[in-house]
Structure 1
Amino acid sequence: MRAQIRHDAMAFAEEKSTAGAPIPRGRAALDTPLGTLSVTVHNRMAPVERVWRQLESDPWNSLHQGYDWCHAWVETHGNPLAIVEGRLNGESAFLLPLEVERHYFARSAQFIGSAFTNFNSGLFSAAFRRCAEDFSSEGLQTLLMEALRGHADLLSLSNVPLDWRGERHPLAALPHIRNQNASFQLALGSNMDETIQSLNAKSRRKKYRAQIRKLEAAGGFDHIRPIPQSEQQALLETFFRQKAARFATGGLPNVFQPAETQAFFHLLLESDRGSSDVPLELHAIRLKGEHEGKIAAIAGLSRKGDHVICQFGSIDESLLPDASPGELLFWLVIERSALTGAALFDFGIGDQDYKRRWCTMKSEHHDILVPLRPAGHVAAMTHRSVTRTKSLIKGNAHLYALIQRLRAQGTIAPAARSED
């Protein structure tokens, strides 16, 4: 079926900004055998908060597209928004929370806060996911292009798992490329014994007991769990200091250094509504004895239903490195997640040795790329070329190790240093 896009009389309706000035928004509709699929692009979050929170309650949808997560980013960064609301026969079908950033010569419409998201799905109703395959991919692509063309040059949705929890992603038929990074997960049992059965359980327990003995010999430790806001905020500042030292040692740029990034994470801590879904909570190993009060390791976790994601972690390399406090903290937070009913512990994107030691599952991610204007075609080709190059490098262990050594030695120019 060829796409037949129609523009309603309100194709470019206007919202009122807080200052009273009109804000244009795109709107387009597609007539299909299943009914009318329409999309509207909003430039503010507030008008769609009710629909947003309704869709985010579905456990299939990523917590990174949740209202509170996106609101914290928008409040601290202020990029133009292009929030795509889809409705099928008048009923809420999906929401793509997008912001627009300029990358060199092109404007990219991407998921809000993409720089710090580990898994992006967008927000889709269960009913729409069930019938998504019945829509023409050409029609859906053209519909998004018509609605977003006035806002950006390229629709770029990164780190999207095309298969997630037994379901195919509703946008899987759109043009995409496999991301150079996968994510790593561990399936959880009802307790730690069940959880580590799929690993080398005997070796794991032996290592855990050795870590405990070493820390007890130095005076012991406390596992700091969710604590009052003021202490959480202070612990976050400690994380920023530890991470800055770690990046400096590795010759890497500190992605947590910008003031707006730090403000975003501070605001996330304040977004906890006391429910089982938590945007961000901090855990830490605090030492006793000769290192009384010192923080040896920190982990930042998010939870959506039975899915726990480790957003970040840090260690103080000067404090009892032989005891591996960072590894011990992973054991403690994984155990707590299992005991509180979580089914999946997610270490996020990026291939690192410690993730492979813990994880039994690997999820491929893809980047969906839909050019909206001529500049977007060039940007999409550039994105594909860069991604293929990164994948080639990461697929060659010797070449990747060489680049890592050069980066650590400071041989690679600062502008070229990044996690990839």
Structure 2
Amino acid sequence: MTMAAVMESPAGTRAWPEASRLAGVELVSDMRAAETAWRGLERANRFCTPYQRFDLLNHWQRRVGEREGIRPFIVIGYDRDRQPLLLLPLGVTRKHGIRIAKFLGGKHATFNMALWDKDFAAGAAAADLEALLSAIRAHALADVLALTRQPRRWIDQPNPFALLPGQLSANDCPLLNMAPGAPPASRISNSFRRRLKGKERKLQSLPGYGYRLATSDAEIKRLLDWFFTIKPQRMAAQKLPDVFADPGIEDFIRDACLTPIAGGHAIDIHALQCDDEVIAIFAGVADGQRFSMMFNTYTLSGNAKYSPGLILMRDIIDHYAARGFTSLDLGIGSDDYKRLFCKDDEPIFDSFVPLTLRGRIAAHGLSGLTHAKRTIKHTPALMQMAQRLRGVLQQSP
């Protein structure tokens, strides 16, 4: 169902900036109603991250978003020939009386972006964003846009939303850049490779040992059954909340991992395994240029002491480098193992855009909260204090 009629320029609104190349904006509340425009922007001259694929977010909204009371808020911008130029995949939720529009996908999407026609994005200017925001404001269906975890650039081009007022996100995202055709040592040093080879010799004696990218439904289901058995035990041992236990999350992940797309699945699973056990898995999204990790875990058996997660990460890096990928990230957060592979950071930012008077207060509060989180995470003493407090709260009855 369409939430708002198409707003056309110049007759639709006197506030429409004349310099904008957008001729109309449509707000849609039904995922299927947006599917044709959405898939078109994924295929033709695309500029988007794999986290905003229809096949991924449709599963998330159906399994998770609906349970959380999130209503799709899909914003589609068109040119004068009614060809889509951009699609903003948002959902609206209400908190403390404030209607907040956020990117669909929740915490399981490392990066958030609109889907853009690449040529339009390359020349996008303030007038285009002003036209987009004017159309959204005109219908007052949300009070504030909370546009978090946006990359300033994606692959080789700036993100047009970086023109909006913004701030650094609370967390960083470690990144590995890979030059096509470069020697393996440019990705992982020879000394580190030798150390991993030494550890791997212990695993290579296991019958059936090897690295695989899961392709069949049976293999994918087996690996996921193992993951959803082992991961909760690992989270509990680390005294961390199990985000995979939230309602709908397991169903979402299973659906996405089993959904075929060109070149693989909506979520791909890489594994180290032998005849007797799964040893480690890493799962993530890929788009032909970037692999981005979403979740991982490794065995509880004695084979864990041979660093199977690091060995698997080496295999994944080499797998994608051989296919011409130019970058790889291991998700939000600066865990020590990520820095063994990723020496750079993907700059990511948040924008909190008020749409109503009430939204101005909400935008200010959300901005301040994000700034405080970043300060804590980047101040070791404050981070240690926060971790101790979390441990005390988890132990409280």
TM-score, structure 2 as length reference: 0.88
1:48 aligns to 2:44 (yes or no): no
| Number of matched pairs | 383
Question: Could you say which residue in structure 2 is the equivalent of 1:186?
Answer: 176
Partner secondary structure for residue 146 of structure 1: helix
Structure 1 unaligned runs (5+)? 1-14, 16-22, 416-420
1:122 aligns to 2:114 (yes or no): yes
2:236 to 248, 252, 276: 248
Listed one character per residue, the Cα deviations across residues 276-314 of structure 1 (whole Å, up to 9, x for unaligned) are: 2631121222235xxxx2222111121112211111111
Contact 1:211-1:323 within 8 A present in 2 as well = yes
C-alpha distance in structure 1 between counterparts of 2:200 and 2:185, whole Å: 18
Question: Could you say which residue in structure 2 is the equivalent of 1:303?
Answer: 286
C-alpha distance in structure 2 between counterparts of 1:401 and 1:218, whole Å: 40
Tell me: CA distance 1:334–1:198, structure 2 relative to 1, closer, same or farther (3 Å): closer
Contact 1:277-1:304 within 8 A present in 2 as well = no
Amino acid at match of 2:183: E
Shift of the alpha carbon at 1:265? 0.7
1:206 aligns to 2:194 (yes or no): yes
Question: Could you say which residue in structure 1 is the equivalent of 2:4?
Answer: 25
Question: Could you say which residue in structure 2 is the equivalent of 1:294?
Answer: 277
1:338 to 321, 324, 335: 321
C-alpha distance in structure 2 between counterparts of 1:33 and 1:154, whole Å: 25
Tell me: CA distance 1:36–1:224, structure 2 relative to 1, closer, same or farther (3 Å): closer
1:411 aligns to 2:397 (yes or no): no
Tell me: CA distance 1:167–1:340, structure 2 relative to 1, closer, same or farther (3 Å): closer
Shift of the alpha carbon at 1:190? 5.1
Contact 1:222-1:286 within 8 A present in 2 as well = yes
1:98 aligns to 2:65 (yes or no): no
Contact 1:303-1:309 within 8 A present in 2 as well = yes
C-alpha distance in structure 1 between counterparts of 2:20 and 2:361, whole Å: 35
Shift of the alpha carbon at 1:318? 3.4
> Comparing 325-334 with 125-134, which one deviates more in the overlay?
125-134
1:282 aligns to 2:263 (yes or no): no
1:169 to 159, 162, 166: 159
Listed one character per residue, the Cα deviations across residues 45-89 of structure 1 (whole Å, up to 9, x for unaligned) are: 222322211111245311111111111112213231111011132
Amino acid at match of 2:161: L
C-alpha distance in structure 2 between counterparts of 1:272 and 1:31, whole Å: 41
Tell me: CA distance 1:198–1:230, structure 2 relative to 1, closer, same or farther (3 Å): closer
Aligned-CA RMSD value: 2.4
Counting aligned pairs with the same residue, the percent is: 26
Give the 4+ runs in structure 1 shifted more than 6 A.
none
1:159 to 145, 149, 161: 149
Question: Could you say which residue in structure 2 is the equivalent of 1:143?
Answer: 135
C-alpha distance in structure 1 between counterparts of 2:187 and 2:280, whole Å: 26
TM-score, structure 1 as length reference: 0.84
C-alpha distance in structure 2 between counterparts of 1:246 and 1:388, whole Å: 30
Amino acid at match of 1:370: V
Contact 1:182-1:362 within 8 A present in 2 as well = yes
Amino acid at match of 1:38: G
Structure 2 unaligned runs (5+)? 9-15
> Comparing 337-346 with 325-334, which one deviates more in the overlay?
337-346
C-alpha distance in structure 2 between counterparts of 1:35 and 1:321, whole Å: 56
